[in-house]
Structure 1
Amino acid sequence: MCARRNGLVSAGLVSAVVSTLREKRSKSRWNDVKTICGPTGLTPQQVSEITLQLRNNPHLALRFFYWSDRTSLCTHDLISYSTIIHVLARSRRFKTITQTLITTAIRVSELDDALDGPDHPAPRPPKIFQTLVKTYSRCDSAPFVFDLLIRACLKSHNNNLDRSIAIVRLLRSRNIWPSIGTCNLLIRAVSRFRGANAALDMYRELFDVRVKPNAQTFNILMLGFYQHGIMDRVEEIWTEMVKVSDCSDWCPNVFSYCVLLAAFCDRGMMNRAVGVWEEMRIKDVKPDVMVYNTLISGFCKSLDLEKAEEVFRQMGLSDVQATPMTYEHMINGYCKIGDVDSAILLYKDMRRRKFRPDASTVDLVVGELCNKSRVLEALEMFRDVMKSEVFNPGRLTFEFLIKGLCEDGKIEEALKLQTEMVGKGFEPDSEIYKAFIMAYNKCGDKEKARKLTEEMFTIGSEVGEA
């Protein structure tokens, strides 16, 4: 009898709160709700029931949930969290907020797990999953709620990959399939943390006759194998991608072609790379800057600068804007074949476009100029690039210039440059000492050459002892 009376009292309380929230529009309604609840507040079960009755107004349900928490009117548990999560997921609104609530609920689950005792040897979904399943029908929810749960697990601070996989497997046992987007996120996470082969196994498990992959799925797999240096598997995934796309309403996209192109270029298989390039043209897949840069880089590494220049020109004619990386590839390529004049022209064009060269590229150009006894040109280039506040020269640039200036007998300029070098944190090594020693001997200052020789050996012995 007492339990029945308490149930009636609770139902009346819930009804009064819902009516107040629905019918009153002023700020005072929150004070009215607080008065109705009294000093004891609300139980999580009551909050769950109120939230459920407000499900057709998810914005109001969310405001009530936050307010009840902020005012300490209720200490929420997994039931009250599950209900508001279902209500928001059902509306397909407040996606970010819903994931935040799920993340908080996962932390509550973890606290419960700690109270239960030691961790189970097999990965389990967080307890919020079990609660969401139990309350799913009552809340008239949508499968999208489980997508949000999986995504929240993947984004959590310790990346609950095992838990995400466990959730997917349990859902599949209940004939519930996550969306393709969620499956792709899971495959990407597996590839990142467990390698490309594990990601491929995950792909085989996730996709079947019920759920079909899309271009992004294969892009993730191809990129994973490419980043792990397993180039043969990139081509295998591409073959499967083409086979699946022939039976689907999508085709490999420009990113797909770019990864395949990179796999061929990195192995120096430029004939195969050109074949991919031609296929893109035939299938009217417009190359983007990544594709152009990849092909240019491939030709430059193969020292075929004529073809690299041809692709570079096509890039301009196609109104695809070159990037600093485009110029880096071309400049490095010309330096490798000893055509420093072409490299300088590209460098000047790069600077006109306000692009900042990478330190390694400056090293390469300066080194080539110094090797051709064009030290003053190299120094001019160095001074130009040093005007940029964000440029940090490499040690090699200083060494090339100091050696070149010493060989030309410009010892004072070399000393000034050495001071700058030390200011950038690069201490002179034996090569720098030898350059100055040779310069002083060449100009007849034997005494300075002797002192530098002694200093070099003293420093060398101290380094050896350390």
Structure 2
Amino acid sequence: MSVRWPRILTPTHLSQIITYQKNPLTALQIFNQAQQKYPNYRHNGPVYATMINILGNSGRISEMKQVIDQMKEDSCECKDSVFVGAIRTFASAGMVKEAVHLFNSIPQFNCVNYTESFNTVLELMIKESNFKSARQLFLENSWRLEVKSRVKSLNFLMEGLCQFGKSDLALNVFQEMDFQGCYPSRESYRILMKGLCNDGRLNEATHLLYSMFWRISQKGSGEDIVIYRILLDALCDNGQVEEALELLGKILRKGLKAPKSRRHRIDLSKCESGEDLEATKRLINEALIRGGVPSMGSYSAMAIDLYKEGRVGEADKVFDEMRKKGFWPSLLMYEAKAEALSKKGRVNEVVKLIEEDIKEGTCVPSVKLYNIVLKCLCDAGDSDLGVGYLKKMAKQVGCVANKETYCILVNGLCEDGKFVEASQVLEEMLIKSHWPGPETYNILVRGLCSKGKQYEAVIWLEEMVSQGMVPDISLWNSLVASVCCKMSDINVCYEGILTQ
């Protein structure tokens, strides 16, 4: 390991040095050597964060825990994001107890705000269906000065309860918000409305809508349109079309503050029969869009919601209507559309979206949008095209490929049998300080062996071992089988061994 040490070392400089290392263990050695070489040097919070993230992203959990303990002993000021990353690393490794233990130990660190860590652990417990522990965690920590916001954590609780069909308990949590000194957000209403409707509690959902008129919708925000639609759709599905139409009128007047001239232009006579529910719901959706005052928020919210449900045709109509009114689609809308098209396997349309459609507006592709496109191409067996998009990302200012980008592409190339190209992408991935898991090395080494690329396979096997990973015995078997490529050669080897 050769490092060009500067005359004077700063934490910022050390962060740069360890970030550029291809091997996380090498980065850790440099990190530990710094204080030995520079007696007056001290690590600060950002350099600890860099080292912890490197170890966490590469799956070096035991080493990550050691650096976290060292940070606690140094008592340097650290940010909440360090613990969020470490908690997620523990969770992804199935070490939930360690994640909770780390959160409970945060008061021992020099961290003045750990709201996001609190929400991350709470969300983790709810995903594990551990509502009792989640409730206890909330009671023990929500009052702390270091936890700044309670609304987001209460939303997590409500969403978890609703997902498991316990909207009655979620309603109790919602009603407790006032006593907790919280003001329900639009997201609070959306979560509870969806939960109540899914459980068939339409009376409570209707009362919730009226309370929303009073609190959230006083100014007629277009973003509320998604919440209204949840209830109207549920009423239609329950055969209560007349009630839905009556409620629609109130929504246009009180919720969206639609002018009378716009309300009177809406023809809902075709809905009255209620024979074709899907057609009725489409007309109601159009009424919500056209009846209210046109806004970026209403168009975006409706389109994104429809794309998430896979109703691409209806969402595209909202797209077209939006453009006619002089609004340009947002990046979130393009991402939602790409994801919906990708799930339906409409590869050509996904490519057209990023190559042509998005260029017509004011948006530029994001890393998330590129990742959706790459996943779609790889799933369709077009990983070669994905390599081209990786090069485009490198040329786009402010768009840096992340670990997910490289993993999608490496795995896609391997699935297509393009192991040499996968090797090149993996090399770039390591240069950018993103470390794959052992499963990626396993599939790549086996693939190279199957193509007769023994030298490249050995290189990656050595890289794998240098990072402290233990190769499966099947990898060694693949390498031996590749060298002895013909069964006759393998038999000769066995005969030679037995005669010795």
TM-score (normalizing by structure 1): 0.48
Greater RCO between the two (CA within 8 Å, min separation 6)?
A: 2
